[in-house]
Amino acid sequence: MATKNKPGVETAKGELVITRIFDAPRERVWKAWTEPREVMRWWGPKIFTSPSCKIDFRVGGKYLFCMRSDSGPEVWQKGLWSTGVYKEIIPMEKIVCTDCFADEQGNVVPASHYGFEEDFPLQMLVTITFEKLEGNRTRMTLRHAGLPAGEHTKGANQGWNESFDKLAASLTESNSQPLVIERILNAPAASVWKALTDRDQMKQWYFDLAEFKPQAGFKFQFYGGTEEKQYLHLCKITEVIPGKKLAYSWRYDGHEGNSLVAFELFVEGDKTRLKLTHEGLETFPKSNPDLAKENFVQGWTSIIGTSLKEYVENKK
């Protein structure tokens, strides 16, 4: 945990106030709240991961966050969604937004939609302030107004602080930097794109998937791992720019953590530069050596630099 002091907590007039100090510059903490890929690294209490995050970061813009757990009630396993509208933005200093329960489409729903009691209001208010401190540190204060009193406020306090523990880890973890591998492939971009998105071709160099469609929202899974243990990979396509970019979430069934894999293609004459980016590796359990960053480096280097390269360059 990267806080210098214990979290400050107080409640008054239905408002929960939490203050945390992070060993990270204010710009980095601000980014963790305003960029979807950064939010997905820490959003939700410790047993949750964040498989989806959308942000239209402007006054009047909306956000749509999701957190999901592999355990607990069925509704947790399906995903809990929240949305709101940004009311005030002072760059690097302050964010004010509404906070509402939502469905997957971003429609506001009552708390009962997720099995909570009806005493939750349809709309609450969240204010986050960021203060620059000496030593490249940041004091962040969250105010969550409108919460029902009693156990709901206690639960929100626990949930926020567990999320902020994950935020602290993501801000200071050395492997929080994304894994990036680039290779020049002696093949046209159209051929490389086909190899990345056609199931029959993918099984020649990647994994043998039961089904695959290059469509945003499409979910797929496959087994992979070591000789000693195989892991069920659960993925969902998040972005498709035909011929240019394919991105999907990447997590493991029964394990904490969620990451994002992106393939980007750049035409260079009659060749193609492929850029592979894998973000969020720091969210995987550090106690599992199979999920260490160096293993991903080795695996992707082999897949991109050898298997895919040989396939597209030798394909007739």
| pLDDT tens digits, 54-70 | 999 999 999 999 999 88
Is residue 11 pLDDT above 90, yes or no? no
C-beta neighbour count of 111 within 10 angstroms: 17
Question: What does the domain layout of the chain look like in residue ranges?
Answer: 8-172, 176-314
Given this model, what pLDDT does residue 173 score?
A: 63
pLDDT band at 221 (very low <50, low <70, confident <90, very high): very high
Is residue 299 pLDDT above 70, yes or no? yes
| pLDDT tens digits, 174-206 | 446 788 999 999 999 999 999 999 999 999 999
The domain defined by 8-172 folds into Alpha-D-Glucose-1,6-Bisphosphate; Chain A, domain 4 (3.30.530)
Mean pLDDT confidence for 296-304:
92
Given this model, what pLDDT does residue 282 score?
A: 85
Is residue 53 pLDDT above 50, yes or no? yes
The domain defined by 176-314 folds into Alpha-D-Glucose-1,6-Bisphosphate; Chain A, domain 4 (3.30.530)
| pLDDT tens digits, 123-177 | 999 999 999 998 889 999 999 999 887 777 888 999 999 999 999 988 876 446 7
Mean pLDDT confidence for 236-251:
97
| pLDDT tens digits, 278-287 | 999 888 887 8
On the question of a common fold for 8-172 and 176-314, the answer reads yes
Q: pTM for this one?
A: 0.57
What percent of the chain has pLDDT above 90?
A: 70
Given this model, what pLDDT does residue 4 score?
A: 38
